Structure 1
Amino acid sequence: MPRTLHALWEHTVRRHRRGTALVAGGEVLSYDEVNTRANRLARLLADHGAGPERVVALALPRSAEMVTGVLAVAKAGAAFLPVDVSYPAERIAPMLTDAAPVVVCTTRAGAADLPETGVPVVVLDDDGASAALERRPGTDLTDADRTGPLSVANLAYVIHTSGSTGRPKGVAVTHAGLAGLARAKVAAMRVTADSRVLQFASPSFDAFLTELLAAFTTGAALVVPSAPTLAGEVLEAAMLGGRVTHAVLPPTAVATLTPGTFPALETLVVAGEACPPELVARWAPHCRVLNAYGPTEGTVCATMTGPLRPGEPVTIGTPIAGVSVYVLDGELSPVPDGEIGELYLGGAGLARGYLGRPALTAERFVADPFSTAGARMYRTGDLASRRADGAFLFHGRVDDQVKLRGFRIELGEVEAVLARHPGVGQAAAVVRDDRVAGRQLVVHVVPARGSAPSADELRAHALRYLPAHMVPAAYPTLDAMPVLPNGKVDRAALRDREVRGGAAGRPPETAAEKAIYLIFRELFGDAPIDAGSNFFELGGTSILAIDVILRAQEAGLELSPRSVIDNPTLEALAAAARSEP
């Protein structure tokens, strides 16, 4: 039976009032306690105009406040818009413009990083807001308390994904598919009221909903780590300290962990990017390993496997209940089992479309010829084939969208941002395999006539407009782009190009520089390294940045994820380490 997000939550609260709902930031909160907080915030948001078909922006980090905020927005009848305050202001501003929220919820720290848009802001840790919340009743809201009645057809959330034009697109998702998603995840993952589910995903990505629904429709506890980036020893500590029994992780994050380290772990769901067979071979002997697939446009998840076994082909599974999956050719006709075609999705969980983008919505959400009149299907852009047993195999993309470290990236957006730089005549982005750092994003640049932009200059430009996971690792320059006979950029030739090298620069001199040098040497092998070497150009990633931070701590140096992003060269990183509080 379809239910709204707030109805799913309140149904669980009635059965598990005293059960643990949240473990976050040193707090252990019961379902009743979380419900009371969410009700008070919902009433405050309603006073600011939040209600059905209106949007509330949540500019909050992974935290108890973010989880409570999502529930409060749902109770008010509005849709939540997650805003990652680590994103550049130039990226946040168009997101807020697109969604037109009636109010923004944030903290004092987050408010400092938000662009000025004229939208009212509620600062949750401000004394005034705290007092206003305490004055409001903690009881559940009814339709009489909202600006209007709420149904599953109403908007539940808006999540922005990478856009090929250089402008992120807001995917508008209703409540219609949430109950089905919850049932499928709970059944496949075997979540019970005694489970402890890890909240790993950034709230800006829809896997966040999987974690909330898996926990909050069963009476389980949601374990919310406070670290901004979870990988390696930080992720390990979060899982062990939280006694996590169920986790949904991208393969890149799983690769930073050691199987057998987590005695409580019962189920590991791999999602966000292709699951390597080696991962199954390493982890399946220690816990149940499942593989899940689905785009944001299909309410998080479309297909899922049962427990994977070492040595068997890794599929993306079969459709979850309520989802239709088709593999079609260019004429929208089904291809025979075993043949590759484009994957299309149907069912109640399809998003409405893209906010303010009717042409793009019409292009991607098309009439479903295999279902009832008026039904639609979503063109995923993924290539797949169907096996005789009904399971689907993933075969990559038909366009320039890629998955990198679990993030969905439109190469066209990266190229469009770099092309705005006055010193760039042409830009072409590719994902290439690096023998040390694995897959990395590289943008090749043909300078504009009379220009010679440096890699540091281009990287600084990219950081102004792109989130960290979309900022290229390297910026090699070319006299001209290699092209195919049809005139298109030859991306295969770009992927094969060597992007390392260069003349030797100043050797490390200070104690901090020498410490960072040794860390770089351990991470990047025999790559040429000097004081000017750039962490990202060497092949560094957000995952490897955690390694740098942890190793620096062992050497007596303090670094933060932001300091690695803002100071990528060896000498700058050493200077930042000395100035860290």
Structure 2
Amino acid sequence: METVWSVVQAQVERTPGAVAARAARTYTYRDVSALAGDLGDRIAAKVRPGSLVALDASSRFSGAVGILAAIAAGCAVLPLDRQSPAARRARVLDDARPALLLRELAEAEFALEESGLPSPPGQSDLGGIAYVLYTSGSTGQPKGVMVGHEALVDRLAGLAEQPGLAADESVLAMAALSFDISLAELLLPLTVGASFTAVPEETRADPLAFAELVAAAAPDVVQATPSFWRMLTASGWTGAPGARLWTGGESLTPSLARELLPRCSELWNVYGPTEATIWATAARIVSAERISLGEPLAGVGVLIDDTGELLLHGTGLAHGYLNREQLTAERFPQRDTPDGRRRVYRTGDLVRRGPDGALEFLGRLDSQVKLRGHRIELGEVEAVLEEHPDVSQAVVLLQDADRPEIAALVAFVVQRTEADLQGWLEDRLPTSHRPARITALPELPRTTAGKVDRIALAAGLAVGGQAVPVAAAPAPGDVRALVAEAWRQTLALESVDEDANFFDAGGNSALLAVLQKRLSDGLGVRVPIKEIFRNPTAAGLVDHILRTKVPN
């Protein structure tokens, strides 16, 4: 059975001394092979082939070594989300029951910890599985998507063809390991003789530092979500003329495409759910007036059923969901397919064929949403809210879905007390899944059929991000007034509570970049985004600026 490890090993034999990765130091293909091979031997000495191995790492290079090592040992790997609260990580580990945990000590150095957890009843040998990734689940329990070796190898080969990556080219690697797009950044280069540059987390969070890294590294391919590109352009990034930009994970808008096209050599819109292995379709965008999902990648087949739902088939389909046979049967039904495999994945996405035959995204059939690149089942957020003993019912909606730069989750609850629900969610959901606002109602509106009237709730939402009349500019030396004005304009507020948390007041990653640029222009100081994270109130940020006064 061919695996990504065997494909990388073949490349090592061809170009052992070529640069494979740039991280804390530069690593050759020979280095990667030795590090992953040695770690694979350590894994094999502790667990049997077919076991599930959890990977807990922050360094992208460590992630690549850990993934390759687990596969080399004949195991499936489960990259953990380091941003998830402890309670959610515990749910994932309890559901997956990995036999071993790889815990990063330093770059490419790991401690191996046996979990001591027995496999759940019915969990079969995972020898044919390359990796397991957990995605949001509508019942409140995240679900593990199992992707096989054939799917991963074939998908990487397809991506090498289109959008394309050649030997001696380079990729910027910045996606979290818990997102399957990280595999395109880390493993695709190693299968074709290319290299990747690992982006430190603190650099990724600071648009100005990230722009400096792009300029210095001069990568051929940079992949990110539309939300990230929006944050970068809002910070004043002038672009990377020699780079091909891939964008996916949420809808690419014409306005963002107009911003990106002059800033790169090529712009590609890519689409694909985790269940179809990284990306399934791609379209080169040459005009902001024509945005589509494009055509299937090599090995991918598409069908559109009578409801308009997109069905995917081919070599890239996942095996299903870990320990969830019924859900697997529902989402991966048997259908007649041109390739004769008689198995499809129901994406839940509504699409149509455009005039040129390219696929066009129209919306969702269910309550799943995409917010700043994160796939979120609204039902999961509702279920966690309803676990609170004082909440009898909860409804979560995506506000301003057609305006990605200000889109946010909002919740409506019926609760018996004024309990701190945000604190409850902080312990149980990642930041991406937490509502920006929770509104308590005596009861939820109902339709004539007795169901919760989500349309009525949505109609009652105040439209966020509307322009607020701009007051006279404060005196340049008045730091407190300048910060308050930047805060007010960015969040479209009538007034600013200096002690309110930026994110609790409606802020998000895209607006963070807008705030940073307003502060830089108005104050003449550079305030790194990480410092806004550390000082998320206007009062705290003023104190930080007055203490540091870093020149712009």
- TM-score range (shorter-chain normalised) is 0.7 to 0.9
Q: CA RMSD in A?
A: 3.3
Q: Distance in 2 between matches of 1:554 and 1:442?
A: 35
Corresponding position of 2:295: 318
Corresponding position of 1:336: none
8 A contact 1:280–1:309 mirrored in 2: no
Query: Do residues 443 (structure 1) and 411 (structure 2) align?
Result: yes
Equivalent residue in structure 2 for 1:203, among 159, 177, 188: 177
Deviation at 1:34, TM superposition (A): 1.4
Corresponding position of 1:31: 29
Query: Do residues 294 (structure 1) and 272 (structure 2) align?
Result: yes
SS in 1 for 2:34: helix
Residue 464 of structure 1 aligns with an amino acid whose one-letter code is D
Corresponding position of 1:138: none
8 A contact 2:267–2:285 mirrored in 1: yes
Q: Distance in 2 between matches of 1:426 and 1:380?
A: 28
TM alignment of 1:259-338, pairs within 5 A: 261-263=238-240, 265-285=242-262, 286-305=264-283, 307-329=284-306
8 A contact 2:317–2:345 mirrored in 1: yes
TM-score (norm 1): 0.80
Deviation at 1:471, TM superposition (A): 1.3
Encode CA deviations 1:9-65: one digit per residue, 9 max, x unaligned: 11221222111111113x1111111111111111111112152x2111111114321
Query: Do residues 48 (structure 1) and 69 (structure 2) align?
Result: no
Q: Distance in 2 between matches of 1:391 and 1:420?
A: 43
Residue 20 of structure 1 aligns with an amino acid whose one-letter code is V
Encode CA deviations 1:376-404: one digit per residue, 9 max, x unaligned: 11111110112354311111110000001
Cα separation, partners in 2 of 1:59 and 1:490, compared to 1, 3 Å: same
Corresponding position of 1:86: 83
Cα separation, partners in 2 of 1:186 and 1:109, compared to 1, 3 Å: closer
Q: Distance in 2 between matches of 1:55 and 1:579?
A: 49
Q: Which runs of 5+ in 1 are unaligned?
A: 121-149, 331-340, 502-510
SS in 1 for 2:250: coil
Residue 290 of structure 1 aligns with an amino acid whose one-letter code is W
Return 215-224 or 231-240, whichever deviates more: 231-240
8 A contact 2:446–2:453 mirrored in 1: yes
Residue 416 of structure 1 aligns with an amino acid whose one-letter code is A
Corresponding position of 2:223: 248
Query: Do residues 470 (structure 1) and 433 (structure 2) align?
Result: yes
Deviation at 1:554, TM superposition (A): 7.7
Q: Distance in 1 between matches of 2:526 and 2:171?
A: 34
Equivalent residue in structure 2 for 1:357, among 283, 299, 324: 324
SS in 1 for 2:53: strand
Q: Distance in 1 between matches of 2:404 and 2:485?
A: 15
Encode CA deviations 1:458-477: one digit per residue, 9 max, x unaligned: 11111111111111111122
Q: Distance in 1 between matches of 2:185 and 2:528?
A: 32
Residue 422 of structure 2 aligns with an amino acid whose one-letter code is R
Cα separation, partners in 2 of 1:355 and 1:554, compared to 1, 3 Å: farther
Q: Distance in 1 between matches of 2:10 and 2:93?
A: 32
Q: Distance in 1 between matches of 2:528 and 2:294?
A: 44
Aligned residues: 516
Return 186-195 or 409-418, whichever deviates more: 186-195
Equivalent residue in structure 1 for 2:418, among 452, 472, 475: 452
Encode CA deviations 1:91-111: one digit per residue, 9 max, x unaligned: 11121122221211113599x
Q: Distance in 2 between matches of 1:493 and 1:533?
A: 29
Cα separation, partners in 2 of 1:250 and 1:436, compared to 1, 3 Å: closer
TM-score (norm 2): 0.84
Cα separation, partners in 2 of 1:328 and 1:558, compared to 1, 3 Å: closer
Q: Which runs of 5+ in 2 are unaligned?
A: 118-124, 466-477
8 A contact 2:314–2:339 mirrored in 1: no
Cα separation, partners in 2 of 1:571 and 1:266, compared to 1, 3 Å: closer
Deviation at 1:495, TM superposition (A): 2.9
Deviation at 1:159, TM superposition (A): 0.2
Corresponding position of 2:462: 498
SS in 1 for 2:192: coil
SS in 2 for 1:476: strand
Residue 256 of structure 2 aligns with an amino acid whose one-letter code is L
Q: Distance in 1 between matches of 2:97 and 2:421?
A: 31
